[in-house]
Amino acid sequence: MNHIPQKGWPGLRSNFPEGSTKWAVRRAQWRALGIEPDDMTKPKIAVVNSSSTLSSCYSHLDDLSRHVQESIRGAGGLAFEIRTVAPSDFVTSAGRDARYLMPSRDLIVNDIEVMVEGALLDGMVCLSSCDKTTPAHLMAACRLNIPTILVIGGYQDWGSCGGLAIDIDDVYESVGALATATMSLKQLTARTDCAISSAGVCSGLGTANTMHIMAEALGMALPGSAPIRATGTRMRELAAQAGIQILDLVRDNLKPRDIVTAAALCNAVTVCVGVGGSVNAVRHLSAVATEAELNLDVIACFEQAGREVPLVAAIRPNGPHRISDLEAAGGARAVMTQLRQYLDTTVTTVTSRPLGDQLNAGHIDETVIRPCADPISIRGGLAILRGTIAPGGAIVKTAGVAIPEGVFAGPALVFDSEADAIAGLGDGRVMEGTVVILRGLGPRGGPGTVFAAGFASALVGAGLADKVALVTDGELSGLNRGIVVGQVMPEAADGGPLAYIDNDDRIVINLAEGALDVDVDAEELTRRRNSRAIHLAPAPRGWLSIYRALVQPIEVGATLVENTSEDHD
């Protein structure tokens, strides 16, 4: 599919034979846009922009896109802006109980394929902002395998309310305080008025900032990219650098699958565990590996890293430091420098140089990013649990959990929707010592992974985060903290054991042993499985119905069923 450029720009796949139909009709279109004939033979670069005025996560990307396009043109390329879906976890989660969120990731991937592969462009610069865009851009890069760089959209500024620093995480958790009458609607409203004071993604170490860091750890973003303030000049400088560097990648024919190798993915897992990143990174990195056609068990990588890699940073919601502190302390590059002994530093990055050449750069504030010899914890910030509930694994953010002796056990209280669980919190059914089971909310069960994150945050607001556990196959937020176990595999809709748990079954969460079990004998579980049919929630006509028919198990990242009839170059 790709051709290796020689000196200058010959051999670009976007340069069609003169006189051909493709050449003639495209030339007519582009002349109408004012593109000069001499520019039409230059490298043609897609600037993938998910700008939207629906959400502050994306409201600044048009300006960023202009900087990238100008830089590409200045470096001798031809820039084309490509628009995609722009899902926001706090805005487009409103419809159908957030079922559109997870499927939107794969919609973006296919959106990019249609526009970039359909036009046979030569490279991409992807503007990555909210939760689903960064993994989608990484997945699309690996699928199309044309030179690509991710430009990080950056985090938002927070505000102040009543003399207290307030961000979106505080707003999210305050809903639980309202549900239990420990906060008034007036107080909650006041917090919503001031929690966000600029464009950008959530200011905690949620999924967006985690995946920004993953992009740099994978080598797909320039060094020093993450985390980064959305309103800062440094972000524009990096965007301009990316516009120049993408042309070097096209000239050198350095493609994503040369960068996103098994070793690079293991590096990203190590960094994620070392900072206690979002639990959603597990499914997203699994999906990246699937799109790169790598034979890599990403969940097993997380399992091993959780035992071996120390926790070197405690960023909200895991600890006292803010995401701006992580940036000031040296960011992802400093984290990788501290974790260097656990990384393969020979892997290539979008700089065309080995990762090792980019480490040890600048000052590291070791009060924020600790050395491995003096970590916050000798265990990493994420762990994989397995057992009778999760034979395929489940994920817990250990960086945000405080369980005496590492074991929490209690009776199950089963819900099939987040709304019912929050109602149970308000009416007192959810009590101290309970293990709430939220099931049937996975990719196929939803269809589209349904929110359980709101209930997890509500537990914090209600003061029950360390007294009530949540076990779910639904969608969690990277901002969640407490005794929260997510991504239970297999999901209930695929016949996972979660589907056969009853109220009052004793659930045991054992962090010390990495176990998640139900205290019911195997014979009884088999009887329940054989006597109970799994009834899937109706799938509305449209994208969600298509998604259910195509989605693969979450173990491979909940990607869509692959086409094996044709391989990408």
The residues annotated with a catalytic role in the active site are: 477
Taking alpha carbons only, the member of 155, 154, 149, 140 closest to residue 71 is: 149
Burial 3-22 (b: 16+ CB within 10 A, else e): eebeeebeebebbbeeeeee
Taking alpha carbons only, the member of 395, 384, 390, 446 closest to residue 102 is: 446
All residues at 6 or more sequence positions from 531 whose CB lies less than 8 Å from its CB, including other chains: none
In degrees, rounded to 5, the angle at the alpha carbon of residue 126 between the alpha carbons of residues 120 and 127 is: 145
Cα 282 to its chain centre, rounded Å, is: 8
Three-state DSSP class for residue 476: coil
Return d(Cα 238, Cα 222) in angstroms, integer: 7
**In this structure, are residues 436 and 415 in contact, taking their beta carbons and an 8 Å threshold?**
yes
In degrees, rounded to 5, the angle at the alpha carbon of residue 375 between the alpha carbons of residues 370 and 376 is: 100
Residue in this structure with the two tokens 């722009």, named with its chain if needed: 86
**Token pair for 243:** 């516009």
Taking alpha carbons only, the member of 226, 208, 119, 140 closest to residue 168 is: 208
Return d(Cα 15, Cα 530) in angstroms, integer: 60
Return d(Cα 450, Cα 453) in angstroms, integer: 9
Pairing between strand 44-49 and 435-438? unpaired
